[in-house]
Structure 1
Amino acid sequence: MTGDCKTTRRSVAVAALICLGLAGAAHAQEGFVGEIRSFGNNFCPRGWTDAAGQLLAISQNDALFSLYGTTYGGDGRTTFGLPDLRGRTNIGTGAGPGLTPAAWGQRAGSEQITLLQTQLPGHSHQMMANDVQGATGDPEDGVLAQPHLSNSQGNLYTPSAPNSAMRQNAIQPEGSSMPHDNMAPFLAITWCVALVGIYPSRN
């Protein structure tokens, strides 16, 4: 009889620990309403939903709406939007030292970018020539050379600095103005928004 009592007490103690552990896990999973959390799996737990910019009904999510408002979309009468973190990184609001200010809910950035001429660093293109006597008057497929005059050699070059600009198409442009990738290395994971949980207090 004594042994049975000890077994029963031990079983009750183990069950209590399991219940406490489950309660703690449930509390940890609950989170705060509106909290955004990343998960390594490919789905959001119960009470959470994907941070995919979808519209929700205010009538069914009034607590979350009171926190988000229409910052992420919606008409503010019947619907409001969730943050859309699909293919995006998130940054802190405000402005760090020497950084551009970022407002709550602001979107910016691009996966690809095409540089403008004004964004290129200052540079020069070297123009090549040949100091032999020219053999043709056709510029196609040729380079600058010494001009050929009837009985004398003309001078086509000077060591002085240039003082006049040639036509823009005198030197053939290069490049095709194609956009280039503007993305840092990344790892895609699942971002979820807490629909239920503890309502966050400001103090």
Structure 2
Amino acid sequence: MAWTVTLNGVTYTQASVEGNKYSDEASGLPAILKDFAAHAAAIKTATSTSSVAIGTGSKSFTVETGKTFVVGENIRVMDAAAPTTNYMEGDITSYDSASGALVVNVTSKGGSGTKVSWTLSAQGAQGAAGPAGVAGPTGVMLQYAGTSAPAGWLLCDGSVVSRATYADLYAVTGDAFGAGDGSTTFGLPDMRGRTSIGLDNMGGTSANRITNTQADSLGGNAGAEDHTITTPESAAHVHNRGANQFATWGTDFYATNSGGSGTNTGSTGGGGAHNNMPPYLAVNIIIKT
């Protein structure tokens, strides 16, 4: 039985792709695949002028009719003016293809404010990695070879940022890396010239592998690029001399025990700091917002 399909406004028939027409770029399989992709994108995307505040929970929109949105499908709702900053993600709980009424249960978001121009894109069923994908949840820190942070991330440079704009991140970090102005801003982790270690009391019990108090506090920091050895840090030792070595009257002599008296041997060494750094490669560190 011969078939007919309309994709992206173009009608294809079995006859149009039979034989040597199969590879024809204008009407064969290449054209079908191109129009299929465009057709699929069109029926899984929409726009809306509904006035909606960015947040979690149930959100209602009016979109175009005739879309193929289905209940349970994951969808991303983006502010048309700033899609990478202001957005919401969640699952479709209802859609009326006749009226265009769409309801989304938002589980993650970025940005803030009430917006009136939206672009919506269904992403299919949510996979095992969740809406955050392999990058992980808000607050994850990664090494990054780029020069500036990508969308959805910030550099861990100790900057002070808005608690409202980055509410999800502030909910994770709180004031651990800086309280900002104490009310509207907070500090990002400052990884400039630093590496990280696991909290010594992670999980509530100290391992005592690092005993200073900084290692028991989220955001605690310690360590130095170089270090100067002090006397208490030197290993206990003696400088041995031959026993009963006496000098003639009026000249210096050396004692072999701490009970004697006499002149000291001359000091040596510069007393300067030594390098305390392992070999390293400098990259940016970014944090998921």
Give the TM-score, by structure 2 length. Answer: 0.48
Identity of aligned residues (%): 28
Equivalent of residue 175 in structure 1, options 249, 269, 284? 269
Quick one: structure 1 residues 66 and 163, their matched pair in 2 at CA, closer, same or farther if it must change by over 3 Å? closer
Task: Answer yes or no: is the 8 Å Cα contact 2:200–2:208 preserved in 1.
Answer: no
Unaligned stretches of 5+ residues in structure 2: 1-14, 18-26, 42-122
3-state DSSP of counterpart to 2:229: coil
User: Which gives a bigger RCO, structure 1 or 2 (Cα 8 Å, sep 6+)?
Assistant: 1
When the two chains are superposed, the root-mean-square deviation of aligned CA atoms in Å is 3.8
Aligned partners of 1:57 and 1:163: how far apart in 2?
Answer: 65
How many aligned positions are there?
A: 169
Quick one: structure 1 residues 111 and 138, their matched pair in 2 at CA, closer, same or farther if it must change by over 3 Å? same
Q: For residues 109-153 of structure 1, give each alpha carbon's deviation from its aligned partner in whole angstroms, at most 9, with x where no partner exists.
A: 111111111111122224479x8x96x9566xxxx5xxxxxxxxx
Give the TM-score, by structure 1 length. Answer: 0.65
Equivalent of residue 190 in structure 2, options 84, 100, 103? 84
3-state DSSP of counterpart to 1:125: coil
Equivalent of residue 2 in structure 1, options 16, 38, 54? 16
Q: For residues 53-95 of structure 1, give each alpha carbon's deviation from its aligned partner in whole angstroms, at most 9, with x where no partner exists.
A: 1111223222221211110012431221000111111111135
Which protein has the bigger helix share?
Answer: 1
Aligned partners of 2:276 and 2:287: how far apart in 1?
Answer: 27
Q: Which amino acid aligns with 1:65?
A: Y
Give the equivalent residue in structure 1 for 2:168.
63
Equivalent of residue 104 in structure 1, options 196, 215, 218? 218
Aligned partners of 1:191 and 1:104: how far apart in 2?
Answer: 17
Q: For residues 27-74 of structure 1, give each alpha carbon's deviation from its aligned partner in whole angstroms, at most 9, with x where no partner exists.
A: 648753222111123322122221011111223222221211110012
Equivalent of residue 189 in structure 1, options 268, 283, 286? 283
Q: Which moved more, 1:95-104 or 1:179-188?
A: 95-104
Is residue 2:151 matched to residue 1:37?
A: no
Which protein has the bigger strand share?
Answer: 2
3-state DSSP of counterpart to 1:92: coil
Unaligned stretches of 5+ residues in structure 1: 18-22, 145-156, 196-203
Aligned partners of 2:258 and 2:30: how far apart in 1?
Answer: 103
Give the equivalent residue in structure 2 for 1:125.
239
Equivalent of residue 94 in structure 1, options 200, 210, 222? 200
